[in-house]
Structure formats: C-alpha cells, structure tokens
A and B are shown apart, each in its own frame.
Chain A
C-alpha cells in the first residue's frame, strides 16, 4: 500500500534563483538611483504617498526586492518583504516565470498579460511601478535588449538623457547612493 504512491519533494533551482536575486538586488539599487538621476522617475515617486513601499519578487520563497519612500527619499530596503508594511506587492508565479522576465524573453507588460504576476495592491500604483521599471530598464540595458524588456522603447529621449542618465544611474547603483 505504501508503494502505491511515491512522495516526491520539489527540487531546488539555486542557479536560477541566484541570478534572479542578483538582478533584483541591482534593480532595487537602480530604482533608488534613478529616482535621483531622472526627472520622470522622480515625478512618478512624488505622486506616490509618503512611506509608500512596494516589493517585487518570486513566489513562494523569494528572492524579493523592496523599494519605498522614507522621509521623502526613495530607498532600496533590501530583500525582506516582511520587514516593511507593503502598499504594493508584485509576486512572480515561480522562478521560471521570473527567469523569462529577467532574461528579457518577456517584457513586464507581456508577463502581466500572460498572467505570470500576482498583484496585491492598488492598480494605479502597479501601473506607476511598471512605468518606473520601464525607465530604469532603459537606463540599464542596451537598446537591443531593452526593446524586448519594455512595452515601447522611448525614441524621444535626448542623447544627454540617455547616456548621461545611464552614467549617473550606473554610478549611483554600483556605489549605492
């Protein structure tokens, strides 16, 4: 009778998880940097309430990135979504779906339309978050990749904004200020 049903424990996907964790860590710091370096990101955050906090991560066991406003400044709060009261939580349904997003095989908008994200919170906050992520990805990635990652590549950006902004965002994200 005991042989009738085999018990199988779910395996682990440590490499994929590590890749997503690094991407989220860098993305979190880049959002913090872009809020200082880019006027549009700054404006999006200004429209959000004080102490607004959001998290993006992988269900069920992470990794996560937590970003929010503290005393009017945008900060990357690390990887623990339970340490803060969240206003918006975007959970990707599994590490494989996160890999599709973070290897830019699927844009965030496409992942949402394919039902790969569970959004807990107000929809207009989620849309603001998507816009912020789009801008940050445009700074971080070369055009050939970013075209896959965002809904629409911003062709109207000036040379100064594109390359000067990229330099500022990268410097701030790497140095963490």
Chain B
C-alpha cells in the first residue's frame, strides 16, 4: 500500500449494529447526556410497524420521547421553524432520525436550527455550520443512500457540509433494515457500492478511507445477491445497511469524483434515486477511468474477489477482472429485479437533449479531474447502455 504521509480523516460516529441493537438506544443516549430526544420520522416514508418497534425499544427506560412523524417527500422551511419552536418549548435535548434520505436531511437541518438558535431564513442565507450541534442519532431503514452518515445535508436546494452534521451514534438493527421491495434494497446497495468504489480508487484516498471502503465493498459484494433476492433477509440486509453507513463516512473524507457528482446531478435534475443513477453509470465510469489511466482499478479486485483470487490473478489482468466482476454483479442484480429498475439513462427517462445539461452541471461541481469530452462519452454510453469504447459508434 502506498503510504500518504499527510492526510486527514474524521469519523465521530459510534456504530451499534446487530441483534437487539435498538434496545441499547436508551443507554447510549444516556452516555450522550441526552434524556429527552425528539424523534423525526415520516409515516409516508417509514412503515407503522417500524415506528411501533422503535417506541417499544424504549420500554423500561423511564424516558419520554417526542415523535414527529410528518416528514413528507418534499418538506419545506416552514416545517423547520415549527419543529424548532416545539423543540425549545418542550425542552428536548437531542434528535433521533428514524428513517433515511429526506428524514435525515430534515433532522440535520433542524439540529442546526436548534443548536445554533437560528431560524430557517438565516440558515438558507448562510448554510455554514458554525459550531458543535446537539446529540444526533440515526436509526436507518433500508432506503439509505450513504448521505445519512455523511457530513452533507440537502434541503430545498441548499447543500450543507460540515463534520458537525455527522451523527454521534448510528443504530443498525436488522428489524429496521429489512426492505419492503427488491428495488429499495438494490438502490441502497448500489449507492453504497458506487460511493465506496469511488473512495477506494480515489486519488485523495488514505489508509482510513481505504479501510471503510474495503469493508463496504466486501459487504456489498458478499451479500448483494441474497439481499436483493430476499430483501427481508436479516443478515444480508444488515450487511448492506452497514455498507451504506460506512460509505457515508468514506464520502465525507474523500473529494467527490465523477460517480458522486453524476449521481447528485441525476437526483437533482431527474429525481432518479442515488443508487439507481450511480448503478447505471458505474460500469461506464470505471471503463472510462481504465481507458484514461491514473486510477488504480486493479486494486478493486481485492475487496471484490478476496485475497486468494487477487493473488492468483496476474497484475496485467487484475483491472479487467475487477471490471468484469462489477459488470457481472450489476447485470445479475438487474436480472433479479427485472424491469422494475432502469438499466440505462434512456430507460430512466432522461431525454437525450438534456445530456449536455448534465455535463454542464458536472462542470459546475468542484471536480479537479473534469474532462468535458471524456465525461460526455460516459454520459452518452450510460444513456445508450453501450460500453464506453463504442459509445456513439454503430
């Protein structure tokens, strides 16, 4: 391994994963000096059964918790102000996000509002997070994308970025992480896989991001098939949820590259879930990176295939084999899920005339490796579903 003598890595998250992890939440809250948590969740986004199991886990703790279950797919700033008022009036001292995606974004923004005592107008005007926030806990469900545990929050078009936004604790319980559908599980797995692959081959990687990315890639590679075929399987869904949580830490400590930026652009422009968009683009991006050079694609073989296969493969074939495994994994996943998730950007409803707009959005992102022609080739090949080398050719 190449040792980088100067690097930074931040992960303030305590992870509590496994059987009955949820029941340890009261004791863990006590350790964070939190006695009255406000739970943020959404009836539309999280099943009633999950909310019921969650409240039951507090049994015998003597605590009284506040539950807001009204987060919708499109929350507004008014909600933040209303929740902030209730938070102060009822003297809550911590925030728990029960769910993933937008629920966690609402909880993160609310945490900024209550901790720094600022209203939504001020937050929208100045999204910098200036100071330590209240204890923040995430209990994720199966629909995560990795952003939950990251230093980022997206709310009403504003992007927040601060290590203070990362949770102090994440409780990953197999009763919470079982998915309702194959598509949800596939999207979560692909999102974490793509983010971890990006971190693992990133030029700005360091030994600690490597450790997280290695584990996350291994978890997805080893559990994807079962998790997608049986989204209710406790063991494999728990592994995927752990991979999702770890990918958030890696992306917080790695400069965003084409995979993340393209995934974000597809979410913002076409509301394509992170995992679906990044899953479509990942093989094309990796093929482009291999063609361009400078990315250690060969190193991916180790977490994907394990040390034995890695050692048995000649150096000259490692990159090709890694790409073949990634392609095979995604192909198999598409076969399992069927037509419920799109395999190309075209099938996902991205109009061809907007490919240039996607490229323009990518040019605005903070990406030192931006290459107009190369990136366009990737987008075109992901749109058509043809390999990078033959994109645009008949």
In residues 95-140 of chain A, which contact B (Cβ within 8 Å)? Answer: 95-97, 100, 114-116, 118
A residues in contact with B30, CB < 8 Å: 59-60
B172 to chain A, nearest CB (A): 13
Main SS of chain A's interface residues? loop
Q: Is B27 in contact with A93, judged by CB distance below 8 angstroms?
A: yes
Which residues B79-101 have CB closer than 8 A to chain A?
Answer: 82-83, 85-86, 90
Nearest chain B CB to A148 CB, angstrom units? 15
Please state if B27 and A60 are interface contacts (CB–CB under 8 Å): yes
Max chain B C-beta neighbours (<10 A), residue from A5, A93, A100, A116: A5
Segment of A9-17, A21-29, A31-39, A169-177 in the binding face: A9-17
Comparing B60-68, B330-338, B343-351, the segment that makes contact with chain A is: B60-68
Q: Does B59 lie within 8 Å of A11, measured CB to CB?
A: yes
The answer to whether the Cβ of B38 comes within 8 Å of any Cβ in the partner chain is yes
Query: Is the C-beta of B370 less than 8 angstroms from some C-beta in chain A?
Result: no
The docked-state distance in angstroms from the alpha carbon of A17 to that of B62 is: 13
A7 in the interface (beta carbon within 8 A): yes
A95 neighbours in B (Cβ, 8 Å): 23, 59-60
Q: Count the A residues whose beta carbon is within 8 Å of the partner chain — how many?
A: 27
Output the nearest chain A residue to B68 by Cβ-Cβ distance: A5
Q: A60-B30, A100-B20 are in contact. Are A94 and B61 (CB under 8 A)?
A: yes
Bound CA–CA A12/B68 (angstroms): 22
Residue in contact with A5 in the complex, picked from B20, B56, B67, CB distance below 8 Å: B67
Are A8 and B61 in touch, CB under 8 angstroms? no
Task: With A4-B68, A5-B67, A61-B62 as known contacts, state yes or no: A97 contacts B86, CB within 8 Å.
Answer: no
Q: Cβ of A6 < 8 Å from any Cβ of B? A: yes
B55 within 8 A of partner (CB): yes
The chain A residue with its CB closest to the CB of B15 is A115
Contact: A94 with B86, CB < 8 Å? no
Q: Of all chain A residues, which has the CB nearest B83? A: A4
Since A8-B58, A93-B23, A94-B24 are in contact, a sample of 16 more A-B pairs with Cβ atoms closer than 8 Å, ordered by chain A residue number, is: A5-B90, A6-B69, A7-B66, A8-B65, A9-B63, A10-B26, A10-B60, A10-B65, A13-B60, A59-B30, A61-B62, A93-B27, A94-B23, A95-B23, A97-B24, A100-B19
Instruction: List chain B positions with a Cβ less than 8 A from chain A.
Output: 16, 18-20, 23-24, 26-28, 30, 38, 55-70, 82-83, 85-86, 90
A-B contact pairs, 8 of them (CB 8 A): A1-B86, A4-B82, A5-B67, A6-B66, A10-B55, A97-B23, A100-B20, A115-B24
